[in-house]
Amino acid sequence: MSADTGFADLFAKGLPDPSPRFAGLPKYNFVGGHGDPRQVPVEELARAASNVLMREGDKLAWYGMSQGPQGYLGLRQFVCDKLGSHRAIKIVPDDVLITSGSGQSLELINRVFINPGDTVIVEELTYGAMVKKIRAAGAKIVGLPLDEQGLRTDALENILKDLKAKGVRAKYIYTIPTLQNPTGSVLPLERRQQTVALARAYGVPIFEDECYADLVWTLPNSPPALYALDPANTIHIGSFSKTLGPALRVGYAVASWEVLSRMIGCRTDGVPGAIDQMVVAEYFRTEFDAHIKKLTGTLREKHDVLIEALAKEFGTAVEITPTTGGIYLWVKLPDAVDVTKLFAPAAKAGVAFNPGPEWACDPNSSKSHMRLCYALPSKDEIREGVAQLARVCFEQTGIPARSGNVARA
């Protein structure tokens, strides 16, 4: 391996922190949007890959598969079909931009809209990486209050009114209305209608992130996407990371051409990998509904195992926000517990979780919360991991005093 060489004084100023060396993954991994390795349909994907490569593999010879900068046409068509049948969104492939995961959509939309000093409205609890991206772009964040149904439209109206009075037009309202991250709520139809009406009245675009929306246990009965209610004032993004696997870097944005054309203009790495796109489209074209049914069935079982394990190990010391889908639970420990102080000792015991403060516009509001993702670990790992977490938590804080029928204190 080559030695370091004194390049450091040549590096640009103001770089992000360098990456640490990869140190392997934790044994009990409740972190991040990993999927369930036992649920990857490897045989079906192998068959889909073989079929689509035999049929269209020669298109690999062209940049963008000879189909321009928006992505593989077969995948854009599938996105249209899926959003049409499941999310009440009526679009054509020209309205879709395939991106490298939905993460690249977040990145590009921030690039298109934000100059330093701009203001954006973001749900007070939200996807941690998005908060980081917005701060890196130099925007001010106004936190939008949530309740158990999702964003509070009364609060949204006050915020919009207040900003208007100050002469500020926010660049967007970022919301995860369907399986909110991290709370798991699904915004009811009436609030959706109020939200799009308010956004339109105040001239602020909606930035709707539906990257978990396919994992609602009762998907056909979910209320329509915000995009479906006001296409012209909404930017909609989604992903196949949660339904098939995040190692695939395949997400999408749906928006007017004036937005998509600027996103493409800002993109420097071309269309995402062709075979990933081809395989997703080929498999999901015929198998999406069956796949989702099977996947959410298993995820729901794991959800129940996690709830049971938390109840057993933490008893009354834990409050769980109920959900109807997804891959995570938003969990509150007593106020006396500062989860940021649990992080290192838990890691030492092989347990990783998302600390609440990283998932909040105001970190102090969530210092006793954690997000626990349950797709990756097996049921046994969930049980063991939660037991380890309770042990560490007790050692650090004296809470929980009792696990199962055993008093610790």
Binding to a copy of itself in span 60-89, by CB under 8 A: 60-70
Among 53, 59, 369, 346, CA closest to 183:
369
**Quick one: 341 exposed, middle or buried, by C-beta within 10 A (0-12, 13-18, 19+)?**
middle
Residue 54 or 406: the one with the smaller Cβ distance to a copy of itself is: 54
Residue 32 or 145: the one with the smaller Cβ distance to a copy of itself is: 32
Q: Least distance from C-beta 332 to a copy of itself, angstroms?
A: 26
**Among residues 193, 261, 340, 378, which is the contact residue for a copy of itself, using CB under 8 A?**
261
Q: Least distance from C-beta 287 to a copy of itself, angstroms?
A: 15
Q: Least distance from C-beta 5 to a copy of itself, angstroms?
A: 4
Q: Of the ranges 97-105, 212-220, 330-338, 341-349, which one interacts with a copy of itself (CB under 8 A)?
A: 97-105
Q: How many residues bind a copy of itself (CB under 8 A)?
A: 109
Residue holding tokens 């990371």? 241
Q: Least distance from C-beta 147 to a copy of itself, angstroms?
A: 29
Query: Any idea what DSSP says for residue 282?
Result: H
The residues, ordered by sequence, that sit 6+ positions from 64 with a Cβ below 8 Å of its Cβ are 71, 270, 271
Q: Least distance from C-beta 355 to a copy of itself, angstroms?
A: 18
CB 373 within 8 A of CB 32: yes
- Distance CA(390)–CA(93), nearest Å, equals 49
DSSP string, 146-201: EETTEE-HHHHHHHHHHHHHTT---S-EEE--BS-TTT--B--HHHHHHHHHHHHH
Cα–Cα separations (whole angstroms), residue 298 to 115, 185, 244, 304, 378: 43, 20, 14, 10, 11
Q: Least distance from C-beta 82 to a copy of itself, angstroms?
A: 18
| Interacting positions 13-52 with a copy of itself (CB under 8 A) | 13, 15-22, 25, 32-40, 42-43, 45-47, 49-51
Query: Could you count the other beta carbons within 10 Å of the beta carbon of residue 25?
Result: 12
Among 401, 41, 22, 97, CA closest to 254:
97
- Contacts with a copy of itself, 162-181, as mask; x by CB under 8 A: -------x-xx---------
| Interacting positions 279-338 with a copy of itself (CB under 8 A) | 279
**Quick one: 63 exposed, middle or buried, by C-beta within 10 A (0-12, 13-18, 19+)?**
exposed
Amino acid of residue 376: L
Q: Is 269 in the site for a copy of itself (CB under 8 A)?
A: yes
| Interacting positions 359-388 with a copy of itself (CB under 8 A) | 375-376
Residue 80 or 318: the one with the smaller Cβ distance to a copy of itself is: 80
C-alpha of 92 from chain center: 24
Q: Least distance from C-beta 361 to a copy of itself, angstroms?
A: 20
- Contacts with a copy of itself, 177-206, as mask; x by CB under 8 A: --------------------------x-x-
| Interacting positions 210-249 with a copy of itself (CB under 8 A) | 231-233, 244-249
Q: Of the ranges 91-99, 154-162, 206-214, 382-390, which one interacts with a copy of itself (CB under 8 A)?
A: 91-99
Strand-pair category, 351-352 with 28-29: parallel
